[in-house]
Amino acid sequence: MSTGMSDETLPQYRSISWAAVLAFGMGLVSFVSLFNPLCVAIAVAAAGLSLIALRQISAKPEILSGRGLALAALFLSVFFMIFAPARMAMRSRLLQQRGKQLADAFLSLLKEGKTYDAHQLSNLKHPSQAPDVDADPNKLTTEDFRGFEETHVIQAIKRIDQKFAYYLEGMEPSRTYSELEIFVFRYRLVPETTTGKRPFPVWITVARQKDRKSGAITWKIADVQENYKGNEH
């Protein structure tokens, strides 16, 4: 009597699809897209590779395995492809709202005639000096404040005796420079009819900066212009 096993009863060895393994690894790495939107490309590549792996495994199920791995890779990649951009959009919206609150507070102080208090929300220095986003507002000099009062926007507001209304007309896309983020808001100031002045635009640049050592976040008015020609910071 033969005790040997036939070829049909022997378990068949199946190798794991290399595409499934690579797709799963890329799917895990896709989490970096939460911090850098450009890395969404990794998630897109992982999704494409996982589909290739599934197709290969379906075509040759007798020699290839790894379907579960490929499906997990597909789930991870699709999740990050959707969640990462949505997270970035929500963050941008929240930061824009915070920047607008600061710009509104700045204009409200000017409307109340509290020019010095408005200046304390900014790091605007004398016009002869370039604006410095690292400036400490407690170190702004009398000359800085005098220069602030002499700017075109402040002089225009003084000419209408702080009698004006203002509303937001629009905002520029935010810009990021290393630890610095810039938000530019376009307002329209509408003087009261008793002033005899016409409405005019005001561009307010708000800067959000993170200190590299402490991680502390500071918000400041970085620039105020009547004619916006692009941010130079």
Residues 199 and 117 in one domain: yes
Residues 117 and 210 in one domain: yes
Structure confidence at residue 127 (pLDDT): 43
Residues 80 and 122 in one domain: no
CA distance 199 to 192: 9
CA distance 154 to 182: 22
Residues 116 and 221 in one domain: yes
Q: Is 50 a member of any domain?
A: yes
CA distance 225 to 210: 24
Structure confidence at residue 129 (pLDDT): 44
Structure confidence at residue 46 (pLDDT): 93
The helix/strand/coil state of 201 is strand
CA distance 40 to 220: 31
Residues ≥6 apart with Cβ < 8 Å to 189:
107, 156, 157, 160, 164, 165, 166, 199, 200, 201, 202
Looking at 90, 123, 149, the residue that finishes a domain is 90
- For 203, counting Cβ atoms within 10 Å of its Cβ (0-12 exposed, 13-18 middle, 19+ buried), the class is buried
CA distance 92 to 173: 9
Q: Is 107 a member of any domain?
A: no
Q: Is 98 a member of any domain?
A: no
Structure confidence at residue 210 (pLDDT): 86
Q: Is 83 a member of any domain?
A: yes
Q: What is the CATH number of the domain that holds 154?
A: 3.10.450
Q: Is 19 a member of any domain?
A: yes
Place of tokens 């495994």: 57
Residues 67 and 130 in one domain: no
Strand-pair partners of 128: none
Do the Cβ atoms of 205 and 222 come closer than 8 Å? Answer: yes
Q: Which domain holds residue 174?
A: 112-225
Kindly calculate the radius of gyration of the chain based on its CA atoms and give it in whole angstroms: 30
CA distance 28 to 3: 48
Which residues of the chain are under the pLDDT cut of 70? 1-13, 123-141, 227-233
Structure confidence at residue 187 (pLDDT): 95
